[in-house]
Structure 1
């Protein structure tokens, strides 16, 4: 990105009023841009949530793991706040080359810091792709679907597993994948024979997916909230407390990031110790996620109330029905939007550390590297879902108009809040039915996970 900002040949010529129609990028320029974005996606996927898992692997006790995840997200949100304000300010007001150059220098410093600790890290030895073992369990169970169950059946155990406990009764069909029959031969594991541990690992994934799915819709609501908040800000007075400084509409999301950072600090230094002292046990991941659900709905309610007031001010100033093709600015301070943004930021302070800790605890050991990436996946799916819901609302109602003063964004917020509460009920059902795993590796972690 620094090179594209530095060399004019890597980007189209600036578009001015005298150069209409604007010059389109060449295939070469498009290629450089897409390759750059592809590298950014690969780097993002290979660092952010892999770092979360690798950092947690350095600790043995659940309390330290929970504290690590809190600080991990705190640092991540603080960095996001800096990048969305200071870096963007440099790019807009000084130089895009300097703005991108600062990020290059930052990445180099981070790489040096990471490599300097190489000899101290505890590194888990890879045992092959965990997804292969999942596929093997399914294939082996399907192959043995006609094998009749009988007393005294022999199951295949991992060579490192000294236990002889039979597979659990849940999803009993999958137990056939670890069932030994004469045709299996001497191999301890294959596409026709899995181990009991592999079968139980797959069952754990199946059990946790309903909980994961309850957060997908929540992520979609957050995506819509962010988009609609920017639209609201564009139609309101964005001057900072009456000064001449005007806050860019998209920069209001900074208050969300700031609230998350502050809430994480308060949670780690104040709320969690007080909860442990008063209740006698730590705040569980499921409880953190549940609180996040409730706060998310409250943020939507707060936005609906602000939108009602915004429309009232627009009506009282005769700013509705002007039919000029654009939304007229309403004389209402956009700083009111900080209230729902702060509530949403606090919600994320509960949600993300709770989710990442839950997945890290409950996922099979071989899949813990994937467990922390589940948050990134649910955010991606949720944001795609938000686009679909927004399109559906625009096609079937008149609530979302190009002129926001002509629409009823407040009704949309009330509807999203209702959806959030229904989704919270779904989460409670999933949490009630969810059974935490308990095996010889995770008995200590279960003390934190149980609720």
Structure 2
């Protein structure tokens, strides 16, 4: 298509010819030159790097063997690092939505990511290259630069990939839904590669090569991302969503004594300022007070807000109950760490020679994801589409609900296996753990991918990076919640000289009871989710 005759994105939409409107995207996206993006000449998916998993899977081993940290210190440092990785997306989202846009944010923090990886690789060099006295400090600097870079990318790369599909186009809309399946698939291709090949390289060829290879992969990922720049569709940043949300809350509180008008048409609906205008809804009426003009007052950011601003905040509030159930779900996912403890106490030998490392069963989780994503996309969706009439097959909420059911089943399977293991006095094969890993992987294909899709599709255009960041934060908060639950259960059940359910010597404890307890929490969470899902009003239907 010839772009030379197209108006700039600031031109009035009426200036576009009918042919332009038919061939351009309808979501306000532009190409690299700032012209309305063509459906035919743009559109791509973002790359997913394996560097993150290459560090994550063997980090505790490096901290204990190379930096000589105690197990407790290494575990604490690992948790703090992982928490940073999943809190940083909020900062990346604010920068993307407010100032840089998703593309520039990804590029900027890819650079931080590469610097961090390079610094970590340097810390693993020989004593001639770096003093042992400063090695821990150099490693920590690189580790947290990598966490910030990776975290800020997380909230942008998924939404940026989805931006390549026009949600208003009946042909591209189903592809956008499918995109999230393959995005998660690509992530676990990297995860499986890192959990097998990269861990093997680190164990057999040392940490310099073990960190150097992920660093090189990060450089190649950034280069590949930049090579696609001319094909991408871009959405311009539309101001800080956090500031706009705060303005609505402050204005509504200031006018808490104002009586809402009966006619919603009198609410202030000023210029869109480059954002898609949203229609008024009847939920959370208190927030509407922010859009009431008292005494003919002029528009002031912290006193009088537009209906669109108010509706953006309502959209976030509507999603919060569903978001909260995701925290408990992620608490279930992180119980894989206790699966490893369980596996170490089981019979791991196949035949007389080969012993299965308990950590290798994490690959079962990854394999389940890699097998089930294509199966879901190519088989489940078409069948469900015919049954439900929904072009996605299952709605985002139905998909999340199915994943929560599977998470309950996974914890029940783990509890059953542990109960039998205790009765068998250590003679039970580690192969019995395979079902619980597979069920947990299957639950992620439904629930976690459903959450990614939910937070993107239900968020206002100007808040998609922020909502994606909130989705990623469920991992961080779920990890912290798991730590709290483990601490409370350990201290409560270890009274009176009892070793408790989670004992240092697993055969003296009752890990099966803890797994049943988590399954119970997950069941309660499922009931709460169903109640929230029934009350939830789809943003797309409301507007």
| Aligned 8 A contact 1:10 1:32 in 2 | no
1:56 maps to 2:162:
yes
1:105 maps to 2:216:
yes
Deviation at 1:343, TM superposition (A): 0.8
1:32 maps to 2:138:
yes
Distance 1:165 1:38 in 2: 39
Are residues 139 and 235 of structure 1, via their aligned partners in 2, closer, same or farther at CA, if it must alter by over 3 Å? same
Question: Deviations along 1:343-388, whole A, 9 cap, x unmatched?
Answer: 1101101111111111111111111012222231001100100011
Aligned with residue 216 of structure 1, among 324, 327, 331: 327
Deviation at 1:259, TM superposition (A): 1.0
Q: 1:173 is matched with which residue?
A: 286
Question: Deviations along 1:161-189, whole A, 9 cap, x unmatched?
Answer: 9999984332211111111123633x3x5
Aligned with residue 509 of structure 2, among 393, 407, 412: 407
1:377 maps to 2:473:
yes
Q: 1:430 is matched with which residue?
A: 532
2:540 alignment partner, SS class: coil
Are residues 110 and 302 of structure 1, via their aligned partners in 2, closer, same or farther at CA, if it must alter by over 3 Å? same
1:276 maps to 2:276:
no
TM-score norm. by structure 1 comes to: 0.86
Deviation at 1:392, TM superposition (A): 0.6
Deviation at 1:136, TM superposition (A): 0.4
Deviation at 1:11, TM superposition (A): 7.1
Q: 1:292 is matched with which residue?
A: 403
1:5 maps to 2:101:
no
1:75 maps to 2:181:
no
1:112 alignment partner, SS class: helix
Per mean C-alpha deviation after superposition, the further-off stretch among 3-12 and 47-56 is 3-12
1:159 alignment partner, SS class: coil
Q: 2:317 is matched with which residue?
A: 206
TM-score norm. by structure 2 comes to: 0.72
Aligned length: 409
Per mean C-alpha deviation after superposition, the further-off stretch among 337-346 and 408-417 is 408-417
Q: 1:354 is matched with which residue?
A: 450
Are residues 166 and 341 of structure 1, via their aligned partners in 2, closer, same or farther at CA, if it must alter by over 3 Å? closer
Aligned with residue 342 of structure 2, among 232, 249, 259: 232
Are residues 312 and 151 of structure 1, via their aligned partners in 2, closer, same or farther at CA, if it must alter by over 3 Å? closer
Are residues 293 and 183 of structure 1, via their aligned partners in 2, closer, same or farther at CA, if it must alter by over 3 Å? same
Distance 1:362 1:88 in 2: 38
Q: Report matched runs for 1:76-225 at 5 Å.
A: 76-151=187-262, 154-160=266-272, 167-182=280-295, 184-185=297-298, 187=299, 189-223=300-334, 225=335
Unaligned runs of 5+ in 2: 1-119, 167-171, 494-499
1:6 alignment partner, SS class: coil
| Aligned 8 A contact 1:291 1:347 in 2 | yes
Question: Deviations along 1:30-55, whole A, 9 cap, x unmatched?
Answer: 33122111111112112233110001
Are residues 123 and 415 of structure 1, via their aligned partners in 2, closer, same or farther at CA, if it must alter by over 3 Å? same
